[in-house]
């Protein structure tokens, strides 16, 4: 949740998002919230994960997807 607030306030040029977060919200929820807010809707988000879930990432609006080794 803090990441969404920070991205909204700081407007970074890029977000690297690990799907396996240990917070009260998973990475997919973070991506969805980033895409649903006007201030962060167009922010490039590259998703990182050990699992290959490119389809889900694309459906939620990720800019790109990288599978960790």
Q: What is the pLDDT along the chain (69 residues), one digit of tens a residue?
A: 788 899 999 999 999 999 887 767 788 999 999 999 999 999 999 999 999 999 999 999 999 999 988
Cα 24–Cα 27–Cα 30 angle in degrees, nearest 5:
80
- CA distance linking residue 58 with residue 8, whole number of Å: 21
**For position 13, what pLDDT does the model report?**
96
Alpha-carbon torsion angle 62, 19, 23, 45, nearest 10: -30
- CA distance linking residue 6 with residue 57, whole number of Å: 21
CA distances to 2, 29, 45, 50 from 20, rounded to whole Å, are 15, 11, 15, 9
**For position 23, what pLDDT does the model report?**
66
């Amino acid at each position: 949740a803090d990441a969404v607030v920070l991205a909204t306030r700081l407007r970074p040029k890029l977000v690297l998002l690990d799907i396996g977060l240990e917070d009260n919200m998973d990475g997919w929820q973070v991506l969805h919230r980033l895409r649903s807010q006007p201030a962060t809707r167009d922010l490039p988000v590259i998703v990182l994960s050990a699992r290959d879930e490119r389809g889900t990432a694309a459906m939620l609006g990720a800019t790109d997807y990288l599978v960790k080794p």
